[in-house]
Amino acid sequence: MVMHWATQARDMRERGMRVTHIAEIIGTTPAKVHAAIAEFDAEKRAASRRRAENYAPAPFPSLLRPSFGLTPVDRRTRWLRAICEHHGVTWEDVIGECRAQHLVTARWACAVFLRDDWGMSYTQVGKLMHRDHSTIIYSIRRGRRS
Protein backbone atom coordinates (compact mmCIF):
# COMPACT_ATOMS: atom_id res chain seq x y z
CA MET A 1 0.00 0.00 0.00
CA VAL A 2 1.41 3.37 -1.03
CA MET A 3 0.96 6.21 1.46
CA HIS A 4 0.88 9.87 0.58
CA TRP A 5 3.99 11.64 1.85
CA ALA A 6 1.88 13.95 4.06
CA THR A 7 0.33 10.93 5.80
CA GLN A 8 3.79 9.46 6.32
CA ALA A 9 4.99 12.80 7.72
CA ARG A 10 2.12 12.96 10.17
CA ASP A 11 2.73 9.37 11.31
CA MET A 12 6.43 10.05 11.80
CA ARG A 13 5.70 13.24 13.75
CA GLU A 14 3.26 11.37 16.01
CA ARG A 15 6.08 8.93 16.76
CA GLY A 16 8.19 11.86 17.95
CA MET A 17 10.50 12.49 14.98
CA ARG A 18 11.71 16.02 14.30
CA VAL A 19 10.26 17.90 11.36
CA THR A 20 13.68 18.53 9.82
CA HIS A 21 14.49 14.81 9.98
CA ILE A 22 11.12 13.94 8.43
CA ALA A 23 11.72 16.44 5.63
CA GLU A 24 15.12 14.85 4.89
CA ILE A 25 13.65 11.33 4.77
CA ILE A 26 10.70 12.30 2.57
CA GLY A 27 12.72 14.66 0.39
CA THR A 28 10.80 17.89 0.90
CA THR A 29 11.15 21.09 2.88
CA PRO A 30 10.38 21.43 6.60
CA ALA A 31 7.84 24.16 5.77
CA LYS A 32 5.83 21.73 3.63
CA VAL A 33 5.97 19.12 6.39
CA HIS A 34 4.72 21.69 8.94
CA ALA A 35 1.89 22.69 6.59
CA ALA A 36 0.84 19.09 5.97
CA ILE A 37 0.83 18.27 9.69
CA ALA A 38 -1.16 21.43 10.48
CA GLU A 39 -3.72 20.51 7.82
CA PHE A 40 -4.16 17.02 9.27
CA ASP A 41 -4.49 18.45 12.79
CA ALA A 42 -7.16 20.91 11.61
CA GLU A 43 -9.12 18.08 9.96
CA LYS A 44 -8.84 15.99 13.13
CA ARG A 45 -10.10 18.87 15.30
CA ALA A 46 -12.99 19.56 12.90
CA ALA A 47 -14.05 15.90 12.94
CA SER A 48 -13.88 15.84 16.73
CA ARG A 49 -15.96 19.02 16.92
CA ARG A 50 -18.58 17.52 14.58
CA ARG A 51 -18.81 14.39 16.75
CA ALA A 52 -19.19 16.51 19.90
CA GLU A 53 -21.94 18.59 18.29
CA ASN A 54 -23.90 15.42 17.51
CA TYR A 55 -24.01 14.57 21.22
CA ALA A 56 -24.44 18.06 22.66
CA PRO A 57 -27.66 18.39 24.67
CA ALA A 58 -30.39 20.50 23.15
CA PRO A 59 -31.35 23.70 24.99
CA PHE A 60 -33.84 23.03 27.78
CA PRO A 61 -37.42 23.37 26.50
CA SER A 62 -39.61 26.23 27.59
CA LEU A 63 -40.71 24.98 30.93
CA LEU A 64 -43.60 22.73 30.15
CA ARG A 65 -47.01 24.17 29.47
CA PRO A 66 -49.34 24.53 32.48
CA SER A 67 -50.30 21.12 33.77
CA PHE A 68 -53.81 21.88 35.08
CA GLY A 69 -56.05 18.83 35.02
CA LEU A 70 -53.25 16.35 34.44
CA THR A 71 -52.78 13.30 36.60
CA PRO A 72 -49.50 12.98 38.49
CA VAL A 73 -48.38 10.25 36.10
CA ASP A 74 -49.04 12.54 33.11
CA ARG A 75 -47.05 15.33 34.79
CA ARG A 76 -44.17 12.97 35.56
CA THR A 77 -44.22 11.74 31.96
CA ARG A 78 -44.05 15.32 30.70
CA TRP A 79 -41.06 16.09 32.88
CA LEU A 80 -39.26 12.91 31.83
CA ARG A 81 -39.85 13.74 28.17
CA ALA A 82 -38.50 17.25 28.79
CA ILE A 83 -35.35 15.81 30.40
CA CYS A 84 -34.94 13.42 27.47
CA GLU A 85 -35.48 16.26 24.99
CA HIS A 86 -32.87 18.34 26.81
CA HIS A 87 -30.34 15.53 26.35
CA GLY A 88 -31.40 14.91 22.75
CA VAL A 89 -32.69 11.35 23.32
CA THR A 90 -36.05 9.59 23.56
CA TRP A 91 -37.52 7.75 26.54
CA GLU A 92 -37.08 4.50 24.58
CA ASP A 93 -33.35 5.29 24.33
CA VAL A 94 -33.20 5.90 28.08
CA ILE A 95 -34.79 2.58 29.00
CA GLY A 96 -32.88 0.74 26.26
CA GLU A 97 -29.66 -1.21 26.64
CA CYS A 98 -27.22 1.04 24.75
CA ARG A 99 -24.32 2.31 26.90
CA ALA A 100 -23.37 5.38 24.84
CA GLN A 101 -22.26 8.19 27.15
CA HIS A 102 -24.95 10.67 26.08
CA LEU A 103 -27.64 8.06 26.85
CA VAL A 104 -26.08 7.16 30.19
CA THR A 105 -26.01 10.83 31.21
CA ALA A 106 -29.71 11.15 30.32
CA ARG A 107 -30.46 8.00 32.38
CA TRP A 108 -28.66 9.49 35.37
CA ALA A 109 -30.66 12.72 35.09
CA CYS A 110 -33.97 10.83 34.87
CA ALA A 111 -33.09 8.62 37.85
CA VAL A 112 -32.14 11.63 40.00
CA PHE A 113 -35.34 13.42 38.97
CA LEU A 114 -37.56 10.43 39.83
CA ARG A 115 -35.85 9.84 43.18
CA ASP A 116 -35.50 13.45 44.36
CA ASP A 117 -38.53 15.21 42.88
CA TRP A 118 -41.07 12.38 42.93
CA GLY A 119 -39.82 10.57 46.05
CA MET A 120 -39.85 7.18 44.36
CA SER A 121 -37.96 4.28 45.92
CA TYR A 122 -34.94 2.78 44.19
CA THR A 123 -37.01 -0.28 43.31
CA GLN A 124 -39.83 1.82 41.83
CA VAL A 125 -37.37 3.87 39.74
CA GLY A 126 -35.70 0.63 38.64
CA LYS A 127 -38.99 -0.90 37.50
CA LEU A 128 -39.92 2.24 35.57
CA MET A 129 -36.50 2.42 33.89
CA HIS A 130 -36.14 -1.37 33.37
CA ARG A 131 -33.09 -1.56 35.65
CA ASP A 132 -32.12 -3.26 38.89
CA HIS A 133 -32.40 -1.13 42.05
CA SER A 134 -28.63 -1.37 42.64
CA THR A 135 -28.02 0.08 39.17
CA ILE A 136 -30.36 2.94 40.06
CA ILE A 137 -28.44 3.62 43.29
CA TYR A 138 -25.22 3.90 41.27
CA SER A 139 -26.92 6.05 38.62
CA ILE A 140 -28.23 8.49 41.18
CA ARG A 141 -24.84 8.83 42.85
CA ARG A 142 -23.18 9.52 39.50
CA GLY A 143 -26.00 11.83 38.39
CA ARG A 144 -25.66 13.97 41.51
CA ARG A 145 -21.90 14.27 41.00
CA SER A 146 -22.15 15.43 37.40
Q: Per residue in 30-50, pLDDT tens?
A: 888 888 888 877 887 777 777
> Low-confidence residues of the chain, pLDDT below 50?
1-2, 62-64
- 143 burial class (0-12, 13-18, 19+ CB within 10 angstroms)? buried
Q: Is the pTM of this model over 0.85?
A: no
Cα–Cα distance for residue pair 33/19, rounded to 1 Å:
7
- Contacts of residue 76, defined as CB under 8 A and 6 or more positions apart, other chains included, come to 114, 118
Q: Measure the CA–CA gap between 115 and 121, rounded to whole angstroms.
A: 7
Predicted local distance difference test score (pLDDT) of residue 9: 81
What is the C-alpha to C-alpha distance for residues 57 and 87, in angstroms, rounded to an integer? 4
Asked: is 72-145 a CATH 1.10.1750.10 domain? The reply is yes
